[in-house]
Structure formats: C-alpha cells, structure tokens
C-alpha cells in the first residue's frame, strides 16, 4: 500500500478552495523573516494522484502529493492576490501573529516544510496538469 502525504489542497471552482476568501478578509501573512515554506496541490491533480497510487503505487511507500512550487506562505498569498486583482495581505511578525490570530491559524502558520514530489512523478508516473501554484490558481 502506498501512502500519500497531502499538503494544502486548492481548487478555484470549489467553495473555500481558493485563498481569495482569506485575502478578501484581509487575514495577515507572516513577515518574510518569520515566514514558513508551504506546499500545495490542485484538487484535480490530487484525484489523479490517488488513482495512480492505487494502480502503480509500491508497497510500504510514502509519496508526497504536491506540486513543483517552492514558496513561502506569504509569497503564495501574494501570488494569489496578484492573480485575483486583490490587495496583498498585510505582513506581521510572529509576535504580532500570536496576539492577533487564532491558535489554530497560528499553528498552521508555524509549520514549515518543503516536500519533494519526485516519487509522485517517477514512481506513480504522474504528469501534473497544474505543476505550479501559478498555473493551478489560474485554473
């Protein structure tokens, strides 16, 4: 059995599936010196990854189901804002975030990971339809 490790899932045509709602609310992002790396995958590519894992997955393997984008979280939201014609989110320090944000959102903004999707593309032979957040956010 293959296990898929799934990061942030997005899809512009699904309610809550795009950062535009967060941007419209003006939710801040961390300042660059405090920002963390984040990984994403478009929902359509994730569905295709699940099917590929069922048919071509190797036993006892963990596969990172993420796109090729390497962005910090604030940069991801800046990109989404630019593509949607919305203002970039305000940037705040981690200390300000502790004072202003909910514990759940602060926890989300504290995890930093850079997933390597080589197994997804080589072992599962998946060619991503949305290889970057830029292409996926436009979809």
Alpha carbons 109 and 91: distance in angstroms, whole number: 12
Q: Residues 111-124: what's their mean pLDDT? A: 95
Angle formed at CA 74 by CA 67 and CA 20, multiple of 5 degrees: 80
Q: 66 and 8 in contact (C-beta within 8 Å)?
A: no
- SS3 assignment, position 65: coil
What's the confidence (pLDDT) of residue 1? Answer: 86
Q: Write down all domains in the chain, each with its CATH number in brackets.
A: 2-134 (3.40.50.720)
Query: What DSSP string describes 21-41?
Result: HHHHHT--EE-TTT--EE-EE
Alpha carbons 133 and 138: distance in angstroms, whole number: 8
Give the tokens for residue 36: 């963390």
What's the confidence (pLDDT) of residue 139? Answer: 81
What's the confidence (pLDDT) of residue 15? Answer: 81
CA 19 to chain centre: 10
Q: Residues 86-98: what's their mean pLDDT? A: 96
How do residues 15-51 score in pLDDT, each as one tens digit? 888 899 899 999 999 999 999 999 999 999 999 999 9
């Amino acid at each position: 059995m293959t296990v898929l490790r799934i990061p942030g899932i997005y899809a512009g045509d699904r309610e809550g599936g795009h950062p535009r709602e967060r941007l419209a609310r003006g939710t801040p992002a961390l300042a660059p010196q405090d920002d963390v790396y984040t990984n994403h995958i478009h929902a359509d590519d994730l569905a295709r990854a699940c099917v590929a894992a069922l048919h071509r997955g190797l036993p006892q393997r963990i596969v990172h189901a993420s796109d090729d984008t390497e962005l910090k979280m604030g940069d991801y939201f800046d990109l989404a804002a630019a593509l949607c014609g919305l203002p970039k989110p305000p940037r705040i320090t981690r200390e300000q975030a502790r004072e202003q944000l909910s514990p759940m959102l602060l926890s989300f903004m504290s995890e930093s990971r850079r997933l390597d999707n080589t197994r997804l593309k080589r072992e599962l032979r998946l060619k991503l339809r949305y290889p970057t957040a830029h292409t996926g956010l436009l979809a």
